[in-house]
Amino acid sequence: MSGILLTQDSTPVIGWIAVILGQIMEWIFDLLNLIGIPNIGLAIIIFTIVVYMLMLPLTIRQQKFSKLSNKMNPELQAIQKKYKDRKDNDSMMAMQNETQAVYAKYGVSPMGSCVQLLIQLPILYALYRVIYAIPAYISQVRDAFFPLVDKLINMEGSEEFIRGFQNAAMYANRFTNEQYTSGNVTYIQNAFIDVLNKASTPEWASLAEKFPSLAADIQNTTSKLAEYNNFLGMNIGDSPSYYFSNAVAQGSILLIIAALAIPVLSAVTQWINVKLMPQATDTSGNDQQNSMMASMKMMNTIMPIFSAVFCFSLPAGVGLYWVASSVVRSIQQVAVNKHIDRMDLDQIIEKNKDKAKEKMEKRIKRMEKAGIDPKTINQYANMNTRNVQTQQQKPKRSISQKAASAPPLTQEEKEEAVRKSTEMYNKKAPKPGSITAKANMVRIYNENNNKPEKKKKSDQK
245-267 pLDDT per residue, tens: 878 887 778 878 888 888 898 88
What's the confidence (pLDDT) of residue 380? 44
Q: For residue 207, what pLDDT band results from cuts at 50, 70 and 90?
A: very high
Give this prediction's pTM.
Answer: 0.65
Q: What is the mean pLDDT of residues 20-31?
A: 91
The better pLDDT of the pair 13, 111 is held by: 13
Question: Contact, 165 vs 53, CB < 8 A?
Answer: no
Helices (H), 83-214: 89-106, 112-132, 134-137, 139-143, 148-153, 158-162, 178-181, 185-197, 201-210
Counting residues of the chain whose pLDDT is more than 70, the rounded percentage is 71
324-336 pLDDT, tens digit per residue, is 888 888 888 888 8
Overall average pLDDT of the 181-194 stretch? 86
387 pLDDT tier (thresholds 50, 70, 90): very low
- Residues 6+ positions from 244 with CB-CB distance below 8 Å: 256, 259, 260, 312
Checking if the pLDDT of 213 tops 80, the result is: yes
Average pLDDT over residues 74-102: 80
Residue 389 pLDDT level (bands cut at 50, 70, 90)? very low
pLDDT at 3: 36
Give whichever of 3-7, 70-74, 344-348 has the largest mean pLDDT: 70-74
Residue 353 confidence class, pLDDT cut points 50, 70, 90: confident
How far apart CA 326 and CA 273 sit, in angstroms, is 6
Give the DSSP letter of residue 169.
Answer: G
Which helix (H) or strand (E) is 230 found in, with range? strand 230-231
- Give the least confident one: 58-62, 178-182, 365-369, 443-447: 443-447
How far is residue 363 CA from its own chain's centroid?
28
pLDDT score for 381: 44
Angle at 9 between CA 5 and CA 11, to 5 degrees: 130
Task: Name the least confident of 30-44, 260-274, 308-322, 434-448.
Answer: 434-448
Residues in Cβ contact with 231 at an 8 Å cutoff, skipping those fewer than 6 apart: 39, 40, 41, 42, 316, 320
**Average confidence score pLDDT of the chain:** 75
- In this predicted structure, the answer to whether residue 130 has a pLDDT above a threshold of 60 is yes
pLDDT band at 382 (very low <50, low <70, confident <90, very high): very low
Name the band, by pLDDT with cuts 50, 70 and 90, for residue 167.
confident
Of the ranges 13-17, 150-154, 167-171, 288-292, the best mean pLDDT one: 150-154
What is the dihedral angle through the alpha carbons of 329, 267, 246, 41, rounded to the nearest 10 degrees?
0
* 381 three-state secondary structure: coil
Of residues 453 and 132, more confidently modeled: 132
Question: Range with the lowest mean pLDDT among 39-53, 161-175, 334-348, 378-392?
Answer: 378-392
- The SS3 call for residue 203 is helix
- pLDDT in the model for residue 271: 87
191 in Cβ contact with 5 (< 8 Å): no
Helix (H) or strand (E) holding 235: strand 234-235
What is the longest distance spanned by two Cα atoms in the chain?
Answer: 149
pLDDT tens per residue, range 416-459: 665 665 555 555 555 565 566 556 665 665 655 555 544 444 45
Instruction: Report helix, strand or coil for 121.
Output: helix
Give the least confident one: 79-83, 112-116, 165-169. 112-116
Neighbour tally for 286: CB within 10 Å = 12
Q: Is the CB of residue 204 less than 8 Å from the CB of residue 229?
A: no
Task: Give, in order, the Cα–Cα distances in Å from 94 to each of 87, 105, 326, 391, 393.
Answer: 11, 16, 44, 13, 16
Cα separations (Å) of 441 from 125, 433, 445? 88, 11, 6
**pLDDT tens-digit profile of 65-83?**
777 777 777 888 888 888 8
Percentage of residues in the chain having pLDDT higher than 90: 8
